[in-house]
Chains A and B, each alone.
Chain A
């Protein structure tokens, strides 16, 4: 019976074939490029491990690890901030005007240029900036705190606002769809709020959480502006390093770095699936409800 409800079996295969040809195939080609080398802006079509050796030798591979570390840290921070907030917004916030205002405020940043938003932090966090001026004039510190700007701290700090809305939206969307009756029922059956959260709300909002993580982690991995503007060039991330390589048309180096990142992410994902295997089956998360 349900089988006949399956939408035409064409959509997914057709999509997959096109996708593989247009996206996956070019990616495989460029991975092969990492076994070539570039001299004077020309690709030398002789297989070599030279690129991989120099990526390791110059410590360039570190940027892949550093990027992942910062991206995952920030994603977790945003999740911790956004999940309770989305829950409050969807279920706890009874004032409709307030809800309207908050959604408005979260939508606006998407329209504005990132660099101009971020560059402003520099005049706030700098050695002669507002924070340091206040701290020194109140006698809390003797001399300006220099690590407020051009440090990993500054990069994390600047990212905090930028990547918050993308985490809130998908989670808020799915929580709005959770029927209040379930929460009520759980409570009527004697579950504590914590249990309701853990066993009712969390599993039902999981697709939204996963979407939120992807929506946040992906732009974070590509973060370009914050490390440059607030890291002062000391926090060298993947985007900057790939850019530098491609300025010399070093496709092989860019390919090698990208391969390292995807491989590292693959390891993280595999670990996550293994760890959570006992609790739920990830591969079936996005299935429609059948019974």
Chain B
């Protein structure tokens, strides 16, 4: 074949091939400038770090704060709040061989504790100095216990409800009113402008508690619905959906923030930090995270020690970390970054004052403590691994497809 330079086919061919090879180069080049200034996160780590695996919610922005305070370095593998991925990794991927502890939504110990993946907490371990002063509402919560055994240490938690705009439903703008879930599900003021979470664990339990509270359905445990109960709850939700009550079904945190800050909806059973982020755009107090009449969806992250880790030689360090989760520094940073409470909020307030945090941060910590106290007085339920998970999920799909 001759490759004459006037052959038009040649230039066409060369074009395509150079075009394609170039895009690959640019892909690499585009990411390089960003990659250069960084250093490996573990570069500074000395000694045997404690290896954790768990949700990013429990993560500090920078674990070196903890290293400064208790001398333990942390090597944390982040995962998503996807329960399936977590269960699969712990059960089938031998994570205990490589990792010392796990942080996940409390409830996993119902399955993973008795099956031997978690080691029971040694409550009198010398490094667990704050255990005795930790209130029972936190440490004896059934979210980190199963079969009368203490499987986990409480890390953070909250009672979830919904965010709303006070002026739309005529509520007191100070946000202290108790708003009934009835408004969320049936309020005429918000009809067609309600967003509901796609997570059935949260949405179905909240609906079930609402129906149970008003005696509209026979429900034993709103967080663990039997086939008939789940069907009744799904039927109710399908009816509301077809009545046009819901504007959207959301998933991601970003969606929650956007729905609120665009005022696309009037009510949303979102996570509390979403209302905080939305108020950054809308002005303080525009969106309120509700105190409710009927109760809250309770969740809490627990830290669990891997069974295999108890036979290794850094158990002391692991317990130092567990103790850290109960302490003031961790409390203060979690409340500041996410507005989430946890055990021993008083220590958090103390820490903030001692370290000269601005008054508004201290006030926020105080308010977070009061808020959680107040929520604890109401019915408070939630489960991550309900025994009827399979039927609840299937019924929820019926709602989604209706």
Shortest Cβ gap from A9 to chain B (Å): 26
Q: Among B12, B262, B393, point to the contact of A177 (Cβ < 8 A).
A: B12
Query: A236 — nearest CB in chain B belongs to which residue?
Result: B400
B249 close to A232 (CB less than 8 A)? yes
Grouping DSSP codes into helix (H, G, I), strand (E, B) and loop, the B interface class, with mixed when no group exceeds half, is helix
A123 close to B262 (CB less than 8 A)? yes
Query: A39 — nearest CB in chain B belongs to which residue?
Result: B390
A58 close to B389 (CB less than 8 A)? no
B398 close to A58 (CB less than 8 A)? yes
Q: Considering the chains assembled together, what is the distance between the CA atoms of A43 and B23 in angstroms?
A: 45
B264 close to A41 (CB less than 8 A)? no
In this assembly, does A3 line the interface, its C-beta being within 8 Å of a C-beta of chain B?
no
B398 close to A123 (CB less than 8 A)? no
In this assembly, does B323 line the interface, its C-beta being within 8 Å of a C-beta of chain A?
no
B401 close to A63 (CB less than 8 A)? yes
Shortest Cβ gap from A147 to chain B (Å): 12
Q: Considering the chains assembled together, what is the distance between the CA atoms of A244 and B390 in angstroms?
A: 11
Q: Within 8 Å CB of A173, what residues of B? A: 16
Q: Among B30, B83, B85, B389, point to the contact of A111 (Cβ < 8 A).
A: B30
Query: A228 — nearest CB in chain B belongs to which residue?
Result: B251
Given known contacts A111-B27, A228-B251, A248-B393, A122 and B16 CB-to-CB distance under 8 angstroms? no
**Residues in A41-70 with C-beta less than 8 Å from chain B:** 41, 54, 57-60, 62-63
Q: Within 8 Å CB of A247, what residues of B? A: 82-85, 393
A236 close to B390 (CB less than 8 A)? no
Given known contacts A58-B401, A62-B401, A232-B249, A245 and B262 CB-to-CB distance under 8 angstroms? no
In this assembly, does B387 line the interface, its C-beta being within 8 Å of a C-beta of chain A?
yes
Given known contacts A177-B9, A228-B251, A59 and B401 CB-to-CB distance under 8 angstroms? yes
A250 close to B390 (CB less than 8 A)? yes
Query: A103 — nearest CB in chain B belongs to which residue?
Result: B19
Interface residues on A, range: 35 or more
Given known contacts A123-B262, A176-B16, A233-B198, A248 and B390 CB-to-CB distance under 8 angstroms? yes
Q: Considering the chains assembled together, what is the distance between the CA atoms of A172 and B19 in angstroms?
A: 12
A234 close to B249 (CB less than 8 A)? yes
Shortest Cβ gap from A48 to chain B (Å): 13
Task: Mark each residue of chain A from 219 to 254: 1 if its CB lies under 8 Å from any CB of chain B, else 0.
Answer: 000000000110011101000010011111110010
Interface size on B, residues (CB 8 A): 47
Given known contacts A59-B401, A247-B82, A248-B84, A233 and B251 CB-to-CB distance under 8 angstroms? yes
Q: Considering the chains assembled together, what is the distance between the CA atoms of A69 and B393 in angstroms?
A: 24
In this assembly, does B6 line the interface, its C-beta being within 8 Å of a C-beta of chain A?
no
A127 close to B390 (CB less than 8 A)? no
Q: Considering the chains assembled together, what is the distance between the CA atoms of A123 and B394 in angstroms?
A: 32
A233 close to B389 (CB less than 8 A)? no
Q: Considering the chains assembled together, what is the distance between the CA atoms of A129 and B251 in angstroms?
A: 21
Given known contacts A122-B262, A234-B249, A177 and B397 CB-to-CB distance under 8 angstroms? no
List 27 A-B residue pairs with CB atoms under 8 Å apart, sorted by A's residue number. A40-B389, A41-B389, A54-B394, A58-B397, A58-B401, A59-B402, A60-B394, A60-B401, A119-B258, A126-B264, A128-B264, A129-B262, A149-B264, A176-B12, A180-B8, A228-B252, A232-B247, A233-B249, A233-B251, A241-B397, A244-B393, A244-B396, A245-B393, A246-B84, A248-B83, A248-B84, A250-B390
Give 10 new A-B contacts, CB below 8 A, not counting A176-B16, A247-B393. Answer: A39-B390, A41-B385, A41-B389, A127-B264, A128-B262, A176-B15, A233-B250, A244-B393, A247-B83, A248-B83
B interface with A by C-beta (< 8 Å): 8-9, 12-13, 15-16, 19, 23, 26-27, 30, 82-85, 87-88, 91, 111, 192, 198, 200, 247-252, 254-255, 258, 262-264, 385, 387, 389-390, 393-398, 400-402
A interface with B by C-beta (< 8 Å): 37-41, 54, 57-60, 62-63, 103, 107, 110-111, 115, 119, 122-123, 126-129, 146, 149-150, 172-173, 176-177, 179-180, 228-229, 232-234, 236, 241, 244-250, 253
